[in-house]
Amino acid sequence: MTDPGPRPLIPASATPAERQIIRLLFELNLKADVIMAAQDDINTAVATIADGTTQIVTATTAISAALAADQPVDTSALNAALPPFVQAVQALTAAVPPPPAPPATGTTGAPAGNGG
């Protein structure tokens, strides 16, 4: 048998309504913990993206200067900045679902199936 996880401590003297409220508050608290953990992951990804953006801008500025001066181009800084940047973008994309698509509309602009 699997462990269902933590359970709220409900006083024996609690009424049925109080027991239900305690259970609901406990479930809400568990959901808040999950949301907060996801937010930490999002914050980490956003910080990595910001850092990666700075590194990419610095690298492309150096590349542009080398090209303008007709010098050899060193792309090592750009090559090093891209993998963590791409991983952070992928992590953020996975953590934040895309918004739902807008409803389809008929020729009149009314939602499809509503006589439009």
List the chain pLDDT tens, one digit each, 116 residues. Answer: 555 566 777 888 889 998 898 889 988 998 888 888 888 888 988 999 999 999 999 999 999 999 999 999 999 999 999 999 999 999 888 887 777 888 887 655 555 555 54
Predicted confidence at residue 40, as pLDDT, reads 87
Q: Exposed, middle or buried, 45 (CB in 10 Å: 0-12/13-18/19+)? A: buried
**8 A C-beta contact, residue 90 and residue 74:** no
The end-to-end CA distance of the chain, in Å, is: 55
